[in-house]
Structure 1
C-alpha cells in the first residue's frame, strides 16, 4: 500500500505542475483586476482538472516506459465518464473524484491488457492498443453506476447546506470542514453554490432583493460574510504553513520540493487557489487532509465567535482581502488570527510528517533506478534467442515469483522491484547470457540484456503468470 501511495503521489505531481502559473494568470486577468480576457483562457486548467488528474494517474501507474498510450487511455476514461453523466443528467459532476477513479481504472486496464494478442485479422487492436478498446467497454457501466449513486450524495449535501445557517458557529465550522473535505469528491461545489449564492436574503438600498453570502456581502448586508471569513485564514496562512512544513521536513529532493511549495504558496496567497499544495498530499495522506479540513472549519468558527466578518467576490486571496476590507467588520484581525493558525498548521504538519512515513514530495527518495545507459548498451546483443528459457532461469535466480513486486523494461534493461535483492544469484543470471546485473538497493535491481529485452519481458511475463 505504501509503494502504491508513493507512486500515486508522484503521479499527482504531473498535473500539479500546471496549476500555479494558471491560477495566478487567471486571477490577475479577471474582470475586477486587469480584465485581460484572453488570459482568462488559463482557467481551462481548472475547468479540466479532472482530465489532468486522470491522465496523470494513468501515466504514473502504468507499467511501461512509453506513457503515451496510458495517457490516451486515461483521457478516454474520464471523457466517457463526463460525457455519459452529462447525457444522463447534466447537473451531475464528479469533478476530481471522477478523475481519480478514471485514472486508476485506466492504469489497471492498461497493465492488465497491454500484452493481449488477438487473431491476426484483429492484430492492429492487439498489444498496447487493446487497453483502448477495453477502457471504453469498462467505463460505460462505471458511468451507469455513478449516475445511480452520485445524485444521493449531491442531494444530501444540498440538504445539509440549507440547514447550516440555523447552527451558528457550529454551522460555520461544518461549512468550512465540508468545503475542504468534499473537494476530492467534487461535492464541495454543491455546498458552495448554495452558501455563496442562495443562503439568506437582503434588500438593497435600491429595493432589489439579493441572495447568498457573496452577493449579500458585496451589497452591504451587515450579517453576511461569516461563512466566508475563515477561508482567508485557511488560504492565506494555513496553506502556506503546510507548504513550509513540507519543505522543512523534506529529506530528499529539497530544492525541487522548495520550488514547488514556494510557487504553490504564492498561488494560494495571490490567487486564492490551493490545489497546487493540497493535491501533493490529498490522496497520499488522507489523515493530513482531514486535519486541514478540520482547521479550515475551526478558522471560520473562531472568526465567527470573535465577530470578525470579511467576504470576497472570487476567493479568499490577499487581493480579495484588501479590496473588500472596507466592507468588513474587524477585518484587520484576520491577520493575527491567521498568524496563530499558521503556527498551528505548521507544527501539526511538520511533526506528523517527520514522525510518520508520509509518502509525499520530499519524503520519497528518487533513486537512480530510472537511469539508462542506452548509448553504451544499444549495441549489445544476446548470443541466443532462447527468451523463454532465459526468463525462466532469471525468475528462478531472483528468488522466484514470490520475491517479485514489480517489473518493467527500458531500452536495454529488465528493471526489477523485489522484496529482497539479496536473493539474487548474479553468477547464475550471467550464465543465461545477460550482460550485467546491477543491484541498486535492497529492493531495486536491473539486469542488462540489450535491445532484445522487450522480447524477454514478454516471456518473463508469461512465466510470472504461469508459475
Structure 2
C-alpha cells in the first residue's frame, strides 16, 4: 500500500512541475498591469496594458484548467503501459463523466440537494469544466476519475478481441467499458459530493479557526512527510483545491494580487489563509544555515570537497525551492537532525504568520519574487524587510542548533565520515570526468549504474519520478545496493522503504528516467 501511495504522490507531481513557470508569468503580468505600480502605463486603454494582459491571460491557462491538467497528468506516472493512450482515455472519460453528472443534476437537482439554476462559483457548489456546468469536485474529482480510468486501462487495454471486433480493441475497448462505468459513478457523485462539499466548508472553518497552531502543524507535517514521499498529498489539496479557499491558495492568491498590491493593510489581514503556503522559508533561510553548519563541522582536510557539494545544492534550494539534495545528505545519516529541521521550519513559518506576513512562499526565491516581492513591493516593502530580518535570524538559529547537535552527538554529516566509510559526493565536473573514463561515455551510463544498484532489469516492478527522485519499486530488496553505492555513482543518495527505492537524482531526473526506462 505504501508503494502505491508513494507512486501516486510522485505522479501528482508531474503537472505540478508546470506551476513554477506559470506562476512567474502571472506574477510578471500582474506587475505590469497593476496601476498602483506602473501608473498610467497600466491603464486598461493603454497598449502597454493590452499587450501584457495577453501574456497574463495565457499564464492563467494552467491554474484555470487544473482538473483537466491532473486528469491528463496522472496517467503519465501511473499507467503501466501505453501512457499516452491512457492520457487520451482519461481526458475523454472525464468529460463523459461530467456530461452524465451535469445532465443528472440538471434534471433531478432538487432530489440531490443541488440548485442547478444557481450561478457557478461561490457557495453554489457548481463550476464550469470544458464548458460543462457541473458539480465542483475540484482536483479530488479529477484524481478519482483519472485513477479509475488508469485502473481500467491497466486491466483491459491488452484484452484480445475476436478478429472481426479488432477495431474495438485497445483504447476503444477501454472507452467502451469506461463509458458505462461512468454512469453509476456520476449517480454516486450526485448523491455524495454535495454532502462532501458541506463537510469541506466545515473543515475550512476549522482550519481558519486554528490560526497559528494550524499553520505550525501543517508546515511541520509537510516537512516530516518528505522521507516517505507523501508531502505532495498533504499540501496539494490546500494549494490547488478548495480546502481553504476556492480554487486553491495558488490560484486564489494570484487573482487577489491587484487588490493586495493596491492596499497598504498587512498581508495577513488581506488573506490570512495564505499562511499555509509558507513551506519555503526553510528552503531559503534554513538550508543556508544547515550548509554553514556542515561546512563548519567538517574535518579541515575535507572542507574544500564539502564546499563543492554544498554550494550547488544550497543554491538549488534557495532559488528553485528543491530541498531534497541537501536534506537527503543528512536525513538517513542522522534522522534526529531532520526532525529538528522540521520543527524549525514550522516555527519560522508560524513566526512569519504571527507578525502578519503571508503569501505564496512555498517555493524558492524565483517563485517568491514573482508572486510576492515584485508585484507587492510598492505598498508592502516594510513587511518584506521584516521578513528578511526574521529569516536571517533563523538562518543563524539553524546554524547554531545544527552545529551544536552535530558536535555533541558526533553525527557523520558530510565531511565528518570515518576514513573507512568516506562518502564520495560528486560534483557535476567530477561526474563528467568519471563518465569519460568509462568505455561507454553516453548519458545512459548513470541510468545503467542505477539499474545495477537496484538489482538489474528483472528486479524492477515499475518506475516513476517526482521533481528530484527516481521512484522504483523492486521485487527483492536483497539484490539492491546501499546508500553509499548510489552516492558513489553520482546520485545524492537513496531512500528505502520496504521494496520502494527513491534514488535522489536532482533536477535532471526526468531525463534519467527516460534513460532508465529505455534500459528496461
TM-score, L = length of structure 2: 0.46
Change in 2 beyond 3 A, CA 1:160/1:261: same
Structure 1, residues 175-218: CA drift from partner, whole Å, max 9, x if none?
9899994633788535225999xxxxxxxxxxxxxxx9996895
Structure 1, residues 19-63: CA drift from partner, whole Å, max 9, x if none?
332222232122327851222313212222333333232133323
**Residue of 351, 360, 376 corresponding to 1:302:** 351
Q: Does 1:23 align with 2:23?
A: yes
- 2-structure distance, mates of 1:138, 1:300: 45
**Residue of 222, 226, 236 corresponding to 1:183:** 236
- 2-structure distance, mates of 1:39, 1:60: 30
Q: Does 1:76 align with 2:124?
A: no
The 8 Å contact of residues 22 and 45 in structure 1, kept in 2 or not, is answered as yes
**Where do residues 377-392 of structure 1 align in structure 2 (5 Å cutoff)?**
none
2:139 is matched with 96
**Where do residues 39-438 of structure 1 align in structure 2 (5 Å cutoff)?**
39-40=55-56, 41-64=58-81, 66-84=82-100, 88=105, 90-91=126-127, 92-162=135-205, 169-170=212-213, 181=234, 183-184=236-237, 188-189=241-242, 191-193=244-246, 218-220=262-264, 224-225=269-270, 227=272, 230=275, 233-235=278-280, 237-238=281-282, 266=319, 301-303=350-352, 305=354, 308-310=355-357, 317-318=368-369, 320-321=372-373, 323-324=376-377, 326-327=379-380, 331-339=384-392, 367-368=447-448, 406=461, 418-419=475-476
Query: How far off is 1:226 after superposition?
Result: 7.3
The 8 Å contact of residues 138 and 247 in structure 2, kept in 1 or not, is answered as no
Structure 1, residues 408-442: CA drift from partner, whole Å, max 9, x if none?
9xxxxxxx9754999xxxxxxxxxxxxxxxxxxx9
The 8 Å contact of residues 299 and 341 in structure 1, kept in 2 or not, is answered as yes
The 8 Å contact of residues 138 and 242 in structure 2, kept in 1 or not, is answered as no
- Aligned-residue CA RMSD in angstroms? 5.9
The 8 Å contact of residues 217 and 225 in structure 1, kept in 2 or not, is answered as no
Query: Normalized per residue, which structure has more helix?
Result: 2
Which stretches in structure 2 are left out of the alignment for 5+ residues?
Answer: 39-47, 106-124, 128-134, 223-231, 250-255, 292-310, 325-338, 403-410, 415-444, 452-457, 464-472, 480-498, 501-520
The 8 Å contact of residues 76 and 135 in structure 1, kept in 2 or not, is answered as no
* SS of residue in 2 equivalent to 1:11: helix
- 1-structure distance, mates of 2:396, 2:138: 32
Query: How far off is 1:128 after superposition?
Result: 4.4
2:469 is matched with none
* SS of residue in 2 equivalent to 1:192: coil
Query: How far off is 1:291 after superposition?
Result: 12
Query: How far off is 1:126 after superposition?
Result: 2.0
The 8 Å contact of residues 216 and 346 in structure 2, kept in 1 or not, is answered as yes
Structure 1, residues 82-128: CA drift from partner, whole Å, max 9, x if none?
55555546244333333332332222111110122334443211244
Change in 2 beyond 3 A, CA 1:62/1:167: closer
Change in 2 beyond 3 A, CA 1:86/1:366: farther
Q: Which has the higher contact order (CA 8 A, sep 6+)?
A: 2
The 8 Å contact of residues 214 and 225 in structure 1, kept in 2 or not, is answered as no
The 8 Å contact of residues 85 and 147 in structure 1, kept in 2 or not, is answered as yes
The 8 Å contact of residues 22 and 59 in structure 2, kept in 1 or not, is answered as yes
- 1-structure distance, mates of 2:351, 2:478: 54
Query: How far off is 1:407 after superposition?
Result: 8.9
- 2-structure distance, mates of 1:266, 1:85: 43
TM-score, L = length of structure 1: 0.51
Which stretches in structure 1 are left out of the alignment for 5+ residues?
Answer: 197-211, 248-257, 269-275, 279-289, 355-364, 372-402, 409-415, 423-441, 444-467
* SS of residue in 2 equivalent to 1:116: coil
* SS of residue in 2 equivalent to 1:115: coil
The 8 Å contact of residues 228 and 300 in structure 1, kept in 2 or not, is answered as no
Bigger Rg, structure 1 or 2: 1
The 8 Å contact of residues 213 and 227 in structure 1, kept in 2 or not, is answered as no
2:466 is matched with none
